Every structure is written in structure tokens, then in C-alpha cells.
Amino acid sequence: MNPESRHCLRRRASLAVLAAMTTLAGVSANAALGGLEATVQADQQHMGATLRVLRPGPYTLHEMQTPTGTVVREYVSPEGMVFGVAWQGPAMPDLRQLLGSYFDRYVGVVAQRKAKGPVVVEQPGLVVHSGGHMRAFVGHAYIPEALPQGVAPDSIR
């Protein structure tokens, strides 16, 4: 098999895995990047997670821990909008749920990738970094234009 055929097979396999993950993830609870703070509770229930609410600066941080040990953080602006999400742990969270209306854009970029390894999406209106390996996944996503004044992008972790 030539290298181009192998690359095509790997790409198809990656897309199949991504499609399977989104199908298995179930229906979105509509709480997500760009969503309202009031919907965070739906995320907590969808994940079966415990919730801790912190106010570390000019935003509210909703930190959820799933039964599998994955920690998901949702960053909410003073206006009540989720401007950032982050995850870390042994299992990937439901990215369709976390990215909400931005998920299709994310999938579109992933489908066009030619490289293996961490996913990096840096576009106007959306930044996503995701990587890791089995039992050690990490990532974050945010809307650059929605960051509250005084909040640096590296705060989303």
C-alpha cells in the first residue's frame, strides 16, 4: 500500500471514530460554549458529575467531575455566557455537548487535517486545543471575542 493510500485510510478511520464518538455521546443538553449559564446544570446531569462553583476572577467557574474522573470546567462571563470550556482526565467528554453550535465547525477543521497528533483550531470566533492519549485526555476551547476584560486565554485550562 502506498503512503497516500495509508494516509487516506487513516483519515477515514479518524473520521469514523469521531462520528462514532458523537453518535454514542447522545443528545446534547444544549449547555455549551456560547450557551447560557443556566444550562450548566443540564451538563452536570448529562455527565452524572459533581459540581463545584468558584469565582476566581471576573468570571464564574463551574467545575464538574464525572464518575470516570474527567474534570470539565465551564467558564461563564458576568453576562451569563459560557465563553470557555476545558477538560482533563481519563475519558474524553462529549465534545458535541461542550462545543454546542461550534461542534460542526470543529469537526470540519478536524476532517481537513493531514497530520496526526493534537488538534489545534485557531480561527476568528473559535479556538480549540485537544490532545492526549488513552486515559489522559486534555483540551480547552474558547471564543476569543467573548473573553471578559482582564481574562487571558491561558486562564482557560
pLDDT at 89 (0 to 100): 98
- The burial of 13, by beta-carbon neighbours within 10 Å (0-12 exposed, 13-18 middle, 19 or more buried), is given as exposed
Cell of 109: 477543521
**How many of the other CB atoms lie within 10 Å of CB of 98?**
29
pTM assigned to the model: 0.79
What's the pLDDT tens digit per position in 87-140?
A: 999 999 999 999 999 999 999 999 998 888 899 999 999 999 999 999 999 999
Q: Are 89 and 137 in contact (CB under 8 A)?
A: yes
Higher pLDDT residue, 135 or 10? Answer: 135
